Amino acid sequence: MQLSARELAQLLNGTVEGNPEVKVGRPSKIEEGGEGTISFLGNPKYEEYAYRTTASILLVSRDFEARQPVSATLVRVEDVYSAVAKLLEQFGNNNNEPVEISGHALIHEGATISDNVAVGPFSVIGAGAQVGSGCRIKAQVFIGKGVKLGKNVTVYPGARILDHCEIGNNCIIHANVVIGSDGFGFAPQEDGSYKKIAHVGKVIVEDNVEIGANTSIDRATMGATYIRKGVKLDNLIQIGHNVDIGENTVIAAQAGIAGSTRIGKSCRIGGQVGFVGHIEIADGTQIQAQSGIASAIDQPNQAFFGSPAIEYKNYIRSYAVFKKLPDLYRKINALEQKLKQQQDASNKDSSS
């Protein structure tokens, strides 16, 4: 796909500064560039690259003031990162892929496949499954019996959506995601063994959710595990049975959420954060990477850090002291030695 600076400006509601007819066919990093590519300057610390990039077009903010000549044609936009997201969607969309159902796919006769659906080779769609219009199911995907896919769902290779789970409209499920596996539930027995607890619930993923590669979402013991609309999950996340993740919450890689935890709306959770089970997290909570959440968070719009996590600013103050503890220990030890010497000398004087 080739787009001119003029066309890009129309697409992104921007203005052109330079040659409006220069064309690009792919995006590039600003430090790499390349003729026929478009790059962007969103972070001021990369400004030096703007003056030596070889990209043909450079996206910049409307208030960017160049301190040196820029060889690239500039397209000025209101919000660089939003413009980049829209641009990458244009370059990365798969609308040009053939819409076909592979002869190597296995689709149960009881499944319902809507119009404009693509199914890749060696994918399996079970009995009673419903696939909405515009869905793109890549190769080697498993969709179990009774599964419901809404409209315009993209499922990448190797993903597994197990029996009776539901996926809303406009969702993206990346490679090797597992939705609907059994939760980690076992009842201890008198002889020290564990009896498996059957999980007969499901997972409900609402509209506009994106789930990163190798993430696993367990089905509920009873009822449903919920991923509410607009949630964005990174790669390698574990979500336990009966968890409920609120609207527009984002979670970074390697986080783990134990069963029956409820996370509020618009939370931002860093990588490798761990949650104990059966707690509630208030709306708007922000949690720094590698924190451990061991109890409920009741107040909305608060930030936390540490394991067990405490209020973010308190953690930063505490850590500033913590780094000084070795020096403080040596100073205290030296003072104790000096005090002991003074006491010994005093005792010696008084005895003589």
Is-contact 286 313, C-beta < 8 A? no
Count H helices and E strands in the chain, helices first: 5, 39
Q: Smallest Cα–Cα separation from 91: which of 6, 176, 1, 181?
A: 1
Candidate list 104, 164, 241, 278, residue with the active-site label? 241
User: Which residues lie across from 119 on neighbouring strands?
Assistant: 101, 137
Q: Write phi, then psi, for 81 (nearest 5 degrees).
A: -70, -35
Distance of CA 207 to the CA centre of its chain: 16
Answer yes or no: 241 catalytic: yes
Q: How many CB atoms lie within 10 A of CB 257?
A: 28
Cα distances from 107 to residues 18, 103, 113, 115, 304, in angstroms, run 53, 10, 9, 15, 48
Is-contact 177 211, C-beta < 8 A? yes
Helix (H, G, I), strand (E, B), or coil: what is residue 340?
A: helix
The residues annotated with a catalytic role in the active site are: 241
